């Protein structure tokens, strides 16, 4: 008898079977299958009732529930055991897993357990029929597995369950329809399933049930394209009556299936996504993936339209910040996409959209973005439309002065009338150059050399205005009378330190390092010495030199000279709207 077996038997006798399984799982690492094999052998030879033992597994602190359960999942398909107690054990382990995404994984191994002796599907069905509410969670695996052996009979059972008075049972039935592998050669099964859905949707108001109907409809239409019309109708009806779960199902269908969905089904799903609840992170994450792939397409219009609809529909609750993959996709794609977006969104002036551009631009690190407005994205270019667009760019991208300057220069190039050129040049001076005289000044200097005609002279005029301004400022001699008093300076420093400390703590909350590393505070020195105990039991000295880390930002000049005015101006720029003609 192997050492593992002995350990397990001893542990079972001592009432520590599950702890031993966990220990073996940790120790064996790559050889967990071997432990599972031992479990099968012990169970099938009647030495330990493995199923019964695992029925006592608790998801509590101190042991890794999923690691232990994985061993059972690996063993289950080969275990010989009566169906009912096995179902009880499986259900217990699903419940114990709680809301974890992996909670239901064991159900697929239960299908394999039944498939090892297909009569088990019938036995399981009988158990379910006797107590359908209790064994509701077992309906999908039994139906999914059963249809692989006897499609029509089990579809018929699903149809029966789908008419249950209990919504949980109906929900499981429709979920089963979503997960069944429909045989390609047997279209009648998809037709039957669709009929089932169409019958089920009538008068259905339970959100979870409707969500599963949508999943099933999208699955069925992918298996049988002739049912697209019915699927569209079914999805629309479900969405009309459903809520957050239904919308989540739509987002999931789009995220998982994407282009594989028939176009008309895809479009109807896409159309309803803006109705998603922005507080449902899972749904928003699904939409994020959908958007990211849509924006990568040669024609990103569908993606742009969906993004605009979403942001405009939830201006207060939803920001582009929630769409990480979308932002990444925009920044990774051709620069023209961003140019197009910013031209279109700034010229419209909606806060939700303009703020979206801010989020995109502020996401970039390192080299600054140099966006330029795409003429085609602008509606009108006569005065004051371009100036309005420029003011929006300043209002939202003020902390990215190079981007602002680049946008304004591109707008000057598009301008046809003198008034627009003059106003745009004056915006380059105030508030751009007045506030940012470093890199931005150099950028405009270099632009002045490259550009020609009206753009060159407009840039030159703004640079000249700034040179004069700076000369005036430099002529103001030292005036100690105007300096804040010592007590004010000290109060201000304390205030600043507190703000920095608060913001540091806030940043630490989201820091990945904070989550994966432990923190040690060194009071003195430039390196950290520690002793690491190796596997052999020896201790090894380790000295880690400390590195300084810093970042710098340009503080706008008016933040200290006229902070209230600057704040006011930027708020005006952000909030102003053009009067509709």
Helices marked H in 333-400 — which ranges?
A: 335-348, 351-363, 385-397
Site string for other proteins, 450-469 (x = CB under 8 A): -------------------x
Taking the C-alpha atoms of residue 267 and residue 218, their distance in angstroms, rounded to an integer, is 12
Length of the chain in terms of residues written? 581
Phi and psi (nearest 5°) for 274? Answer: -60, -15
Nearer to other proteins, 32 or 574 (CB): 574
Q: Is there a cis peptide before residue 354, judged by omega within 30 degrees of 0?
A: no
**Minimum Å distance from CB 132 to other proteins?**
52
For the CA atoms of the chain, what is the radius of gyration? 33
**Minimum Å distance from CB 497 to other proteins?**
12
CB 407 within 8 A of CB 388: no
What DSSP line would sit under 139-180, residue for residue?
HHHHHHHHHHH-HHHHHHHHHHHHT-SSHHHHHHHHHHHHH-
**Minimum Å distance from CB 351 to other proteins?**
12
Nearer to other proteins, 95 or 317 (CB): 317
Instruction: Determine if 492 is a binding residue for other proteins (CB under 8 A).
Output: yes
> What residues contact residue 96 under an 8 Å CB cut-off, 6+ apart?
57, 58, 59, 65
**Minimum Å distance from CB 424 to other proteins?**
20
Nearer to other proteins, 487 or 552 (CB): 487
Binding residues among 400-439 for other proteins as defined by CB under 8 A: 434
Taking the C-alpha atoms of residue 279 and residue 243, their distance in angstroms, rounded to an integer, is 13
Instruction: Determine if 488 is a binding residue for other proteins (CB under 8 A).
Output: yes
**Minimum Å distance from CB 552 to other proteins?**
14
Report the residue from 486, 536, 547, 552 that binds other proteins according to the rule CB under 8 A: 486
Nearer to other proteins, 27 or 488 (CB): 488
What H or E segment, with its residue span, contains residue 233? helix 228-241
Total residues at interface with other proteins (CB under 8 A): 36
Nearer to other proteins, 514 or 571 (CB): 571
CB 326 within 8 A of CB 360: no
Site string for other proteins, 243-282 (x = CB under 8 A): ----------------------------------------
**Minimum Å distance from CB 437 to other proteins?**
12
**Minimum Å distance from CB 560 to other proteins?**
5
**Minimum Å distance from CB 491 to other proteins?**
5
Site string for other proteins, 538-577 (x = CB under 8 A): -----------------x-xxxxxxxxx-xx--xx-----
The span from the first CA to the last CA of the chain, in angstroms, equals 90
Taking the C-alpha atoms of residue 265 and residue 215, their distance in angstroms, rounded to an integer, is 12
Residues that bind other proteins (CB under 8 A): 434, 469, 472-473, 475-476, 478-489, 491-492, 495-496, 555, 557-565, 567-568, 571-572
């Amino acid at each position: 008898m192997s050492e593992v077996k002995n350990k397990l038997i001893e542990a079972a006798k001592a009432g520590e079977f599950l702890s031993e399984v966990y220990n073996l799982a940790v120790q064996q690492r790559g050889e967990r299958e071997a432990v599972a094999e031992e479990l099968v052998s012990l169970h099938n030879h009647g030495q330990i009732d493995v199923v019964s033992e695992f029925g006592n597994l608790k998801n509590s602190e101190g042991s890794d529930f999923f690691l232990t359960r994985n061993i059972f999942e690996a063993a289950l398909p080969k275990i010989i055991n009566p169906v009912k107690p096995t179902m009880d054990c499986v259900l217990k382990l699903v419940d114990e897993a709680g809301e974890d995404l992996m909670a239901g994984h064991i159900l697929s191994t239960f299908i394999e357990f039944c498939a090892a002796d297909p009569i088990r599907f019938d036995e399981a069905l009988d158990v379910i029929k006797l107590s359908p509410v209790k064994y509701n969670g077992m309906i999908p695996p039994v139906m999914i597995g059963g249809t692989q052996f006897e499609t029509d009979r089990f579809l018929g059972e699903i149809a029966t369950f789908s008419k249950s008075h209990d919504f949980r049972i109906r929900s499981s039935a429709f979920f089963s329809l979503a997960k069944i592998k429909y045989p390609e050669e047997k279209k009648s099964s998809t037709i039957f399933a669709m009929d089932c859905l169409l019958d089920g949707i009538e008068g259905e108001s339970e959100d979870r049930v409707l969500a599963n109907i949508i999943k099933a409809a999208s699955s069925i239409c992918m298996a049988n394209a002739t049912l697209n019309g019915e699927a569209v109708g079914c999805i629309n009806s479900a969405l009309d009556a459903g809520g957050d779960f239904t919308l989540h199902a739509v987002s999931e269908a789009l995220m998982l299936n994407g282009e594989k969905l028939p176009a008309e089904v895809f479009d109807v799903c896409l159309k309803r996504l803006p109705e998603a609840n922005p507080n449902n992170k899972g749904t928003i994450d699904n939409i994020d993936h959908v958007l990211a792939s849509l924006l990568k397409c040669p024609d990103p219009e569908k993606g742009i339209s969906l993004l605009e609809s979403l942001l405009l529909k939830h201006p207060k609750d939803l920001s582009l910040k929630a769409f990480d993959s979308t932002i990444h996709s925009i920044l990774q794609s051709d620069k023209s996409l961003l140019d197009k977006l910013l031209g279109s969104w700034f010229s419209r002036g909606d806060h939700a959209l303009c703020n979206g551009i801010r989020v995109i631009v502020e996401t970039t690190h390192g080299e600054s973005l140099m966006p330029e407005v795409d003429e085609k994205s602008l509606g009108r270019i006569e005065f004051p439309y371009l100036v309005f667009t420029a003011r929006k760019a300043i209002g939202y991208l003020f902390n990215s002065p190079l981007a602002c300057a680049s946008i304004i220069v591109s707008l000057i190039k598009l301008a046809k009338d003198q008034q627009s050129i003059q106003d745009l040049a004056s915006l380059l001076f105030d508030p751009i150059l007045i506030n940012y005289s470093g890199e931005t000044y150099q950028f405009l200097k270099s632009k002045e050399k490259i550009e020609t005609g009206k753009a060159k002279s407009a840039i030159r005029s703004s640079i000249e205005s700034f040179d004069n301004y700076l000369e005036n400022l430099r002529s103001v001699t030292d005036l100690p009378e105007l300096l804040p008093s010592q007590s004010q300076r000290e109060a201000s420093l304390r205030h600043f330190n507190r703000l920095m400390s608060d913001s540091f703590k806030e940043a630490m909350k989201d820091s990945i390092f904070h989550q994966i590393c432990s923190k040690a505070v060194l009071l003195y020195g430039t390196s950290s010495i520690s002793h690491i105990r190796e596997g052999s039991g020896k201790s090894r000295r380790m000295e880690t030199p400390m590195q300084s880390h810093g970042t710098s930002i340009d503080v706008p000049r008016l933040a200290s000279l006229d902070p209230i005015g600057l704040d006011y101006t930027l708020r005006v720029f952000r909030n102003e709207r053009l009067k509709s003609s």
